Copies of this chain bind each other. A is one copy, B any other.
Amino acid sequence: MAAMTASEKPRPAGTAGLRHSLLGEDLSFLLARANALSLTAANSALAEHGLKARSFSVLALAVYDTRPTQRELAEFLRLDPSQVVALIDDLEKRHLVERRTDPADRRANVLVATDAGRALFARAQESARAAEADLLAGVTPEDRQRLARILRLLAFPD
């Protein structure tokens, strides 16, 4: 450890100082960092079920009764349609979901969950909920509701 001379201004140690920098006030950055932490926690919680946030989301939409087409999944999850193919391929190989051709438009595949898919989803959802609860430990119930409401405005701006 070198001695500090008068000409060397002391540097604030650690990342605590950065938190009060320009970026620490920036909404986009806070959003990105909060999301990164949330995603990491979710992926690690879902790993024991052989899922990630992506495949969990697809499974969730299959379990729900709207029977989305792959195109709708892609738009909703903000993925390219070609990525949805790979995600569904994996889930279908594991017999968690099935592709059914939409009788109203035979070009389109409608996604439905199998019983095994519903069962796995129920278990995975518990893990995801626990991880989310952990992430939200420092946030009051009122603030959680506020956060959800405001994020919905950002996520669906129409």
- Assess the B64–A22 pair: CB atoms within 8 A: yes
User: What 7 A-B pairs come out closest when comparing CB atoms?
Assistant: A34-B154, A21-B64, A30-B151, A33-B155, A35-B35, A17-B66, A34-B155
- Assess the B66–A18 pair: CB atoms within 8 A: yes
- Does A150 sit at the interface, judged by CB under 8 A? yes
Number of interface residues of A (CB under 8 A): 71
- Assess the B22–A60 pair: CB atoms within 8 A: yes
Interface residues in A58-110 by Cβ distance below 8 A to B read 60-61, 63-64, 66-68, 72, 75-76, 78, 102-106, 110
Number of copies: 2
A39-B30 contact given A15-B76, A23-B61, CB 8 Å threshold: no
Cβ contacts A to B, 24 pairs, < 8 Å? A4-B104, A11-B102, A12-B66, A17-B66, A18-B72, A19-B156, A22-B64, A23-B60, A23-B76, A26-B60, A27-B136, A27-B144, A27-B151, A28-B39, A28-B42, A30-B151, A30-B154, A31-B35, A32-B35, A32-B53, A36-B78, A135-B157, A143-B150, A146-B146
Residues of A within 8 A of B (CB): 1-2, 4, 8, 11-12, 14-15, 17-19, 21-39, 42, 53, 57, 60-61, 63-64, 66-68, 72, 75-76, 78, 102-106, 110, 125, 128, 132, 135-139, 143-144, 146-148, 150-157
- Assess the B33–A38 pair: CB atoms within 8 A: no
Q: Which residues of B contact A21 (CB under 8 A)?
A: 60-61, 64, 66
